[in-house]
Structures are given as structure tokens and as C-alpha cells.
């Protein structure tokens, strides 16, 4: 893993600290690296009508699309943690987030690298959704 990828995972872990997940007790952070070098953060945000809420990946992707509409997303780093057990494997994006990432890949005409990490265990790196 490159130094840039490791730094992006650290940013995702920092974003995870702002997760609001009192219903699932499962916090997720995401950090996007844009083509310009800017980093956009997102964390999951739940509400009392659980499971309705926002995923970290969606928060970050849509924030980038809103605030930096002409910039391509190069990489998304995603970290997940459970308050009830040690998460020893990465958590992949849900189907809705996968669809959103796929559409951004199509929109920008380039793949988006995805890096996924749990609290411990392996780190997965995918070249595209």
C-alpha cells in the first residue's frame, strides 16, 4: 500500500469519529481523494427511523459532487468499526453506495479505486467498484 493510500485510510478513520450511529453501533468513515489532491470526508449518520440514514460513502461522494462538481474522484478509503465486537475484516459499501460510486465512475469516465479496512485484519484494495 502506498503512503498516500495509508494517509487516506487515516483520514477515513478520523472521519469515522464523527459517525452518529446510536442504533447500529456500527461506525463508518470515508475519505475521498480528488484529482486536485483535495480530501472530502464523510461518516455514517443515523436517525430514529433506522435503518434510514446516510452511509459514509454516500455522504462523501455526494459532498464531493456538490462542492467540487468538476473534479474527478480518484480514490475512496472506507473504515468501519463495531462497538460490540472487534471487526477483523473490511465492510464493503452497501448496494446503494455501490450504485452511486458506479454512476460517478461513468460520469467522470475513470475508475475510482476503493480501499477498505476494518478495525484489524486485512486491507482490501479494488481498482474500481
Q: Which of 28, 108, 14, 123 is nearest to 68 (CA)?
A: 108
Distance set, CA 40 to CA 15, 67, 96 (Å): 9, 9, 19
Catalytic residue list contains 57: yes
Task: State the virtual CA torsion across 30, 32, 38, 44 in degrees, nearest 10.
Answer: -30
- Name the phi and psi angles at 114, rounded to 5: -125, 125
CA distance 101 to 129: 7
Query: Which of the residues 57, 71, 103, 105 is marked catalytic?
Result: 57
Residues with a known catalytic role:
57
Amino acid at each position: 500500500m502506498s503512503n498516500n493510500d495509508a494517509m487516506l485510510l487515516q483520514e477515513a478513520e478520523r472521519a469515522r469519529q464523527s459517525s452518529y450511529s446510536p442504533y447500529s453501533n456500527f461506525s463508518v468513515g470515508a475519505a475521498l481523494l480528488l484529482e486536485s489532491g483535495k480530501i472530502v470526508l464523510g461518516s455514517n449518520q443515523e436517525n430514529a427511523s433506522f435503518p434510514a440514514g446516510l452511509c459514509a460513502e454516500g455522504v462523501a461522494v455526494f459532498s464531493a459532487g456538490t462542492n467540487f462538481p468538476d473534479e474527478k474522484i480518484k480514490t475512496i478509503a472506507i473504515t468501519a468499526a463495531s462497538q460490540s465486537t472487534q471487526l477483523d475484516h473490511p465492510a464493503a459499501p452497501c448496494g446503494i453506495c455501490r450504485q452511486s460510486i458506479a454512476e460517478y465512475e461513468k460520469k467522470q469516465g475513470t475508475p475510482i479505486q476503493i480501499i477498505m479496512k476494518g478495525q484489524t485484519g486485512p486491507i482490501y484494495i479494488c481498482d474500481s467498484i
